[in-house]
Amino acid sequence: MTTGGLLHLGSGKVRDVYSLPDGVHLLLVASDRVSAYDAVLPTPIPDKGRVLTAMSVWWFGVLAERLGASVPHHLVSGDDPRIPPAWRGRAMLCRRLSMLPVECVARGYLAGSGLADYRRTGSVCGVRLPPGLVEGDRLPEPVFTPATKAARGEHDENVPYQAVVAAVGVDTADRLREATLAVYRLGAEVAAERGFLLADTKLEFGVDTSGTVTLGDEVLTPDSSRFWPADRWQPGRPPPSYDKQYVRDWLTSPAAEWDRASGAPPPPLPAEVVRRTRERYVEAYERLTGLRLANWPEPDQTEPDWP
């Protein structure tokens, strides 16, 4: 499918990917779709795509300034004339990469699937952790806990580091671990300056035409990371999150009347859940960056026809 000379390459849970005619660059267009428990929900979150794009563009700039060539990334521009007007503010012009089949996760606190693994085995992805940890505990040091990159509708699976070595080779695996932890540590430092704890983050990397391992996709957004308010962190209880945890919590509550194991699609979100989730995304962006979302280019108010 082509749109204005752009070739539609595919759609993920949230983003749609187009190739430019030069074959060298891509457009990553973030929709307002929201996913949870490996399913795309029928209810969008207004402005979510703009937040994801604006936050990624800001973080890519921070990474370039603070980490430089040690962690190269794929972003060319978030404000380029090659971006169609209807997608301005929600699309990134990027260098095309050959993506690696690994979800690169760094954890500084115990939460999510890491907590489930720890409770079952005392480890996360083969990394042994101290006994007696509880939900939300700070880990002795950040750890690299990779996962398989599942197809849409399937489940990512935490894997040990040796599985990454088997998939991409020892040198690339070492580089992925090093770069992931470097991004996490910088993200945690910047977030702490703004009153947040960065509990964990998920990154994706690819290889450019020169063979360089390069950060792709999005970075340090509420979709890919857990941000907790530092002043409300208390190990042993779930902290409030500036991400889609609010959506997950509603879906697993009696109000949703949804059985995840049934195979039934998730229900529509109530207006109040949509409103509060949008507020969390926008507040995370504005507090972390010091910018107002309205300062970003206003997109055409007509929603594109997502493939």
- Write the secondary structure of the chain as one string of H (helix), E (strand) and C (coil): CEECCEEEEEECCCEEEEECCCCCEEEEEECCCCEECCEECCCCCCCHHHHHHHHHHHHHHHHHHHCHHHCCECEEECCCCCCCHHHCCCEEEEECCEECCEEEEEEEECCHHHHHHHHHHCEECCEECCCCCCCCCEEEEEEECCEECCCCCCCCCECCHHHHHHHHCHHHHHHHHHHHHHHHHHHHHHHHHCCEEEEEEEEEEEECCCCCEEEECCCCCCCCEEEEEHHHCCCCCCCCCCCCHHHHHHHCCHHHCCCHHHCCCCCCCCHHHHHHHHHHHHHHHHHHHCCCHHHCCCCCCCCCCCC
CA dist list (Å): 17 to 12, 25, 278, 307: 8, 11, 23, 10
**Burial group, residue 90, by CB count within 10 angstroms (0-12, 13-18, 19+):** buried
Contacts (Cβ under 8 Å, ≥6 apart) of 120: none
Amino acid identity at 132: G
Q: Which of 296, 250, 284, 285 is nearest to 43 (CA)?
A: 250
Tokens 């990394």 belong to residue: 127
Taking the whole predicted model, whether its pTM rises above 0.75 is answered as yes
Q: Which of 1, 11, 57 is nearest to 33 (CA)?
A: 11
Domains and CATH numbers, the chain: 98-247 (3.30.470.20)
Q: What is the pLDDT along the chain (307 residues), one digit of tens a residue?
A: 455 689 999 999 999 999 999 999 999 999 999 998 888 999 999 999 999 999 999 999 999 999 999 999 999 999 999 999 999 999 999 999 999 999 999 999 999 999 999 999 999 999 999 999 999 999 999 999 999 876 555 567 899 999 999 999 999 999 999 999 999 999 999 999 999 999 999 999 999 999 999 999 999 999 999 999 999 999 998 888 898 888 999 999 999 999 988 889 999 999 999 999 999 999 999 999 999 986 444 444 333 333 3
Indicate the pairing of strand 213-216 with strand 127-128: unpaired
Phi and psi torsions of 253, nearest 5°: -90, 160
With the C-alpha atoms ordered 43, 46, 48, 53, is the resulting torsion angle positive or negative?
positive
Question: How many Cβ atoms sit within 10 Å of the Cβ of residue 86?
Answer: 18
